Amino acid sequence: MTSESPLIISFYTDDWQYPQHADRLRGECDRLGLAHHIERRPSAGGYLENTCQKPTFILECLQRYGRPVLWIDVDGSIRQKPEYFREPGWDFQARRMPAHRPRTWHVGTMYWAPTPAALAFVDDWIARTGDMSDESSLEQSWRALGHTLAARDIPATYFEIPTRRQPMTPQCVIFHRLSDGDSKRAQTSRFNAAEQAEADALRHS
């Protein structure tokens, strides 16, 4: 038994090249016949502040549409229909980070169902954003409430981040580009040390 395909969701600001990426992602969804909601939102001030809008946007979409959603960072791409997510029974699906990384889940592509457990989890995620990135706050929520979710790992070959050393495989369905652009790199680098400190604090709490 399968359920309907999730609604593809994302948002973007006018910073960097995000509007062009949004147009491309919409075109990919239209070509594949995938329903989508890709929204332009005002900048909250910078890269970190904008990423912190992610859980609020996800919750808004779950409540508005009442159906499963698949968040894809707006600079990601869909090559094929994401049939993997049509299997029912899951609250949350994402790709696990490698064991040596301080966080459990990659936040670039995430499936969420409009279940009570998932809605409560996203509520908690929103409450924890504050001065942290969406990744660090999600990790805190996962450590507190992860046991309440029916969660599943997305296969590594299904969702890829290709590099020169690891090119994209033929079976890849969703892929993400490595962050580029001087301003984005600078902001990402500035928060990496803070996120590592947060992860270390969580590990020893």
For residue 183, pLDDT over 50 is answered with no
CB 85 within 8 A of CB 93: yes
Lowest mean pLDDT segment, chosen from 54-58, 141-145, 190-194 = 190-194
For 12-46, give one letter per residue: b (16+ CB within 10 A) or e. bbeebebeebbeebbebbeeeebebbbeeeeeeee
Angle (deg, nearest 10), helices 182-203 and 134-145: 30
Structural domains in the chain, CATH included, are 7-203 (3.90.550.10)
pTM recorded for the entire structure: 0.87
Our measurement of the distance from residue 50's CA atom to the centroid of its chain's CA atoms, rounded to an integer in Å, reads 13
pLDDT at 184: 47
Instruction: Output 189 or 19, whichever has higher pLDDT.
Output: 19
* pLDDT tens-digit map of 134-153: 999 999 999 999 999 999 99
